[in-house]
Amino acid sequence: MTEQQLRILVIGAHPDDCDVKAGGVAALYRAGGHHVRFVSVTNGESGHHKISGPELAAIRKGEATAAGAAIGIEYDVLDHRDGYLEPTLEARFGMIALIRKFQPDLILTHRPNDYHPDHRYTSQLVCDAAYMVTVPPVVPDVPALRDNPVIAYLSDDFQRPYPFSPTVIVDIEPVLDKVVDMLDCHKSQFYEWLPYNHFFEESVPEDAAARREWLGGMFRERIAPVAEKYRDLLVEIYGEEKGRQIRFAEAFEPCEYGAPLTDKNRGTLFPFVPFSS
């Protein structure tokens, strides 16, 4: 690991998954001049109550592109169908090729236990690609990596088979507005589908500025529990005074299938976090 520009790959199942769970660190990496790519493994074609198929896939790809542009990152949407993802050999080979071509220092993705099968299988594909990215005879048309990248999981609240257990937590309040800018680009999701799916569509304002303000408030309520739940880790990393004051954070758990995320390298991989040496 060198002190040059980091290469950060965030892999979510759907357009907007990366933004919700890692939009803050993405904005912080970009502010530090690092290279960030978001990837949605599925095309998002099923995430709406009125639109579906190619029409919705095109909308969601456009939304993802706009969200990436909001903070100056690449945002790729793959062709796997939303709601139909399976951890096939073909999909694994595609994931191996994707990781090799980007050559990431750090990959962030879902945990393998999750309510949504697309989330679970995205995680499995990333985990199945780990180590195999270093094996030249597998996907031989794309040069193998010499090093297995570090992999870490995005946060969630699922308890079985074991609860989310982070070793890294990041204060994202300084870039929270940038995250909301990204989420605001996913209009089909945050102003249409999710309010319908969760029975609060009548609360969405019609005016664009009012909607964005409403979204910002809703997002703050959604992520505030992360800082409270892992307050001890915030204090350990940021110190007593600062750690007690942080209101909005993103947390990450090491995945044992990638290279180890250790006390020694986490300061390099998360350069905006004041880890003690």
Dist. CA 58–CA 82, nearest whole Å: 13
Is 276 inside a domain boundary?
no
CATH code, domain with 105: 3.40.50.10320
3 state SS for 142-203: CCCCCCCCEEEEECCCCCCCCCCCCCEEEECHHHHHHHHHHHHHCHHHHHHHHHHHCCCHHH
At residue 2 the predicted structure's pLDDT band, cuts being 50, 70 and 90, is: very low
Is 275 inside a domain boundary?
no
Dist. CA 87–CA 110, nearest whole Å: 14
Q: Tell me the β-bridge partners of 252.
A: 154, 168
Residue 1 has pLDDT above 50, yes or no: no
Average pLDDT of span 55-73: 98
Is 1 inside a domain boundary?
no
Q: What pTM did the predictor assign?
A: 0.96
Is 68 inside a domain boundary?
yes
Residue 67 has pLDDT above 60, yes or no: yes
Structural Rg of the chain based on CA atoms: 18
Express as a percent the part of the chain with pLDDT over 70: 98
Average pLDDT of span 42-55: 98
Dist. CA 233–CA 170, nearest whole Å: 10
pLDDT tens per residue, range 122-149: 999 999 999 999 999 999 999 999 999 9
Domain residues for the domain of 38 are: 7-269
Number of domains in the chain: 1
Identity of residue 257: Y
Contact indicator for 24, 250 with CB cutoff of 8 Å:
yes
Least confident stretch, 1-5, 64-68, 96-100: 1-5
Is 274 inside a domain boundary?
no
At residue 4 the predicted structure's pLDDT band, cuts being 50, 70 and 90, is: confident
For position 276, what pLDDT does the model report? Answer: 67
